[in-house]
């Protein structure tokens, strides 16, 4: 049995769970709060950067979401989530790089964190972070909209890691009303998103966010 270490609300832990569910791989969830001052020293030995997720497959321990999801896809049976053709595999890797390099910060760390999550936990939030995230998100959404214009999935005719990495981030982004409006301006990306979030694995792994305690942006 695999052990997946993660924080309930972590978008990257959600991505790892989503891939496991799509592959039909069983696992044990181990909750880790990366913000805790008293983090278990054993976990620090597992992940020296105090982040989530991490995966333990027997004695083999792995951290970094991209490494984890590729390992799951390549080791276990089930639908293949990485195309074999060089051009399609390159497009997949391009999209994953765009998501991690350009989408995560504005969509999740700025708009979702400061516009939704921090207010719900009554933590300090910075409206300027939301504004900057929304401004930065336009270029990201424009690029992803062009990449989503080819069909049901982002890479070729089949579900891939690209779909499973992006959908949770857009879901969190759309928890903010302004995020939903921004996505609505990108027809191809919105159409792709509305399709992929209907998948049972997405619904089964979606974190239950705490109730709102402040107005949304």
pLDDT of residue 213: 55
Residue tagged 């993660």 (tokens): 6
Map out the domains of the chain with their CATH numbers.
Answer: 2-75 (3.40.30.10), 86-199 (1.20.1050.10)
Report the C-alpha gap between 173 and 90 in whole angstroms. Answer: 26
pLDDT of residue 150: 78
**Closest to 211 in 3D by CA, of 116, 130, 125:** 116
pLDDT of residue 66: 98
pLDDT of residue 214: 43
Mean pLDDT, 10 residues at a time, the chain of 217 residues:
97 99 98 91 92 98 98 98 98 98 99 96 95 98 94 95 99 98 98 98 96 54
pLDDT of residue 194: 98
User: pTM (2 decimals)?
Assistant: 0.95
- For residue 54, the surrounding DSSP H or E stretch is strand 54-57
pLDDT of residue 191: 97
């Amino acid at each position: 049995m695999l052990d997946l270490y993660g924080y309930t609300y972590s978008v990257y832990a959600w991505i790892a769970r989503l891939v496991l569910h799509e592959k039909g791989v069983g696992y044990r969830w181990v909750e880790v709060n990366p913000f805790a001052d008293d983090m278990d020293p054993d976990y620090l030995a597992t992940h020296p950067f105090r982040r989530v997720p991490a995966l333990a497959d027997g004695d083999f321990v792995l951290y970094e979401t991209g490494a984890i999801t590729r390992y799951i896809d390549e080791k276990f049976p089930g639908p293949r989530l990485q195309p074999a053709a060089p051009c399609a595999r390159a497009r997949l890797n391009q999209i994953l790089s765009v998501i991690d390099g350009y989408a995560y910060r504005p969509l999740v760390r700025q708009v979702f964190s400061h516009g939704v999550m921090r207010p719900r936990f009554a933590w300090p939030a910075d409206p300027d972070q939301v504004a900057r995230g929304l401004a930065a998100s336009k270029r990201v959404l424009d690029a992803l909209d062009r990449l989503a214009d080819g069909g049901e999935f982002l890479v070729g005719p089949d579900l891939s890691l690209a779909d499973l990495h992006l959908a949770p981030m857009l879901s969190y982004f759309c928890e903010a009303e302004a995020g939903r409006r921004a996505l609505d301006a990108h027809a191809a990306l919105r159409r792709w998103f509305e399709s992929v979030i209907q998948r049972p694995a997405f619904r089964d792994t979606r974190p239950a966010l705490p109730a709102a305690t402040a107005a949304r942006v």
